[in-house]
Amino acid sequence: MAEQEEPQLWQTAAPVEFVPHLDERTEAQALLISTRQGAGFEVAAGQFGHALQSRATHLLMDYSQNACAMRYQIDGAWEQLPPLDRETGDAMLYAVKQLCLLNPADRRSAQTGKCTVKIGKEKHTLVVQAQGVASGERVLAKLEPVNVPFKRLSDLGMRDKMIESLKEQLDSEGTIVLITTPKSAGLTTTWAVCVEAADRFVRDFQAFEDQEQPEPETININPNFFGGDTGLTEPEMLRKAILKEPDVFVFPELPQPDSMELVINQVEKNEKQIYARMVSDSAMSGLIQLLPKYRDSAGQIIKHISVVLCQKLARRLCDECKVGFEPQPQLLKQLGIPAGRVAMLYQPFVPPPIEQQVDENGRPDPVIPCHACGGRGYLGRIAIFELLQPGDQLRAALMKTQDMTKLNQIAKAEGHRGIQSEAVLTVARGLTSLEELKRIFASK
């Protein structure tokens, strides 16, 4: 009797539904019908179903002459998958490109497109980037949840005391609040949760957005669009909005210098507030990058900036299988944790080598992977935050130097706790491991 072939990953999961981004419903239906007739539709639906079931946020496909190598990114770490044969991989990509309104026949050019995928009540935006390379083609598919999966700052992992400090600054007057993260480290999510944490019911919030890149809607934040077919530049839109006397000016992208001059005057004269966001590797580097963009307004920005938030993402230890150990006094000393303060640290469960997985009689007894994390030792991610609140000495120093070491020393003397200190606290709270900290601080 012939052996049954092992099912492929795309055959083991509930398939997703695809929703093309077309205005006309009949056009979308026609595209779905034609794509379903191709051999790759079923493969694509099953593969993305499996990706979501595995909690993957990215799927990387590398096409070579004979195969399609595949990797998932789960909790920020890449995992290799069994490859697809070239014929199956090609068919899947043809369907995906059709659904994302790309040219399936073009395997050389850089192309980007998107559609929505649904599984049950969950919706994700599938963003596909394809690019021809020497060996064939490389395709990165990102799965972004349509609804932010976090509601509160505590859901992201922020400490209670830091939440109090940040909320106080979010609800202050005559200040600038800057939200930053490194590239691809959750800036849009953290921004959305921070804005959600602000009191938007007693003050008027006006956001300024490029019509070509609108933000998701937030209750009690009124979007003002410029560019596109509005016929308005950003400064022109701002001048119109200022007449409405908003309390908070919200900038998902850093404003142009002329715009910053307009709003910083509102902060100074009328005690208005600015929220802005940008990519940076630390709170201090965010400040240092911000000021040269606005040379004419730098002094006013330094005077009014009240807080800079930054974060790094770390994998969260799985609560079902993490393993506690008693830290040696020497280790606690290296970490700067006072003796007796922390009785237990935690690390991921690592099964013994397969040859040691035996019962008391020496018979094979494989360790069953954790049902919650699938044997990864980590489940989801947590943000490690630093909250920089410049004091008088730091403000004075920012007028004179951009030397990061000097500025960090001054901030520390004023009581600032840097991101590495916050990371150690996260380990002490049992939320992540020392191995994970080494990984995220070593990676650039």
Per residue, the 3-state secondary structure of the chain, as one string, reads: CCCCCCCCHHHCCCCCEEEECCCCHHHHHHHHHHHHCCCHHHHHHHHHHHHHHCCEEEEEEEECCCEEEEEEEECCEEEEEEEEEHHHHHHHHHHHHHHCCCCCCCCCCCEEEEEEEEECCEEEEEEEEEEEECCEEEEEEEEEECCCCCCCHHHHCCCHHHHHHHHHHHCCCCCEEEEEECCCCCHHHHHHHHHHHCCCCCCCEEEEEECCCCCCCCCCEEEEEECCCCCCCHHHHHHHHHCCCCCEEEECCCCCHHHHHHHHHHHHHHCCEEEEEEECCCHHHHHHHHHHHCCCCHHHHHHHEEEEEEEEEEEEECCCCCEEECCCHHHHHHHCCCCCCCCCEEECCCCCCHHHCECCCCCECCCCCCCCCCCCCEEEEEEEEEEECCCHHHHHHHCCCCCHHHHHHHHHHCCCCCHHHHHHHHHHCCCCCHHHHHHHHHCC
Distance of alpha carbon 271 from the chain centroid: 32
CA–CA separation, 53 and 81 (whole Å) = 14
Give Dmax over CA atoms of the chain in angstroms.
Answer: 86
Q: How many CB atoms lie within 10 A of CB 150?
A: 18
- On whether the 153-315+381-442 domain is CATH 3.30.420.40, my answer is no
Same fold: 9-145 with 153-315+381-442: no
Q: What is the pLDDT of residue 2?
A: 46
Per-residue pLDDT tens, the chain, 444 aa: give them.
Answer: 445 578 899 999 999 999 999 989 999 999 999 999 999 999 999 999 999 999 999 999 999 989 999 999 999 899 999 999 999 999 999 999 999 999 999 999 999 999 999 998 899 999 999 999 988 999 999 999 888 778 899 988 898 999 999 999 999 999 999 999 998 888 988 999 999 999 888 899 999 999 888 888 888 899 999 998 888 999 999 999 999 999 999 999 999 999 999 999 999 999 999 999 999 999 999 999 999 999 999 999 999 999 999 999 999 999 999 999 988 888 888 888 887 788 889 999 988 887 777 777 778 878 888 989 988 999 999 999 999 999 999 999 999 999 999 999 999 999 998 888 899 989 998 999 999 999 988 865
Q: pLDDT value at position 3?
A: 52
Q: Would strands 176-181 and 273-279 be described as parallel, antiparallel, or unpaired?
A: parallel
Q: Under a CB-based contact definition with an 8 Å cutoff, are residues 190 and 383 in contact?
A: yes
Q: Extract the tokens encoding 186.
A: 């959750």
Looking at domain 9-145, its CATH class is: alpha beta
Spatial contact of 250 and 195, defined as CB atoms under 8 Å apart: yes
Count CA atoms within 13 Å of residue 123 on its CB side.
9
For the chain, domain boundaries: 9-145, 153-315+381-442
8 A C-beta contact, residue 259 and residue 253? no
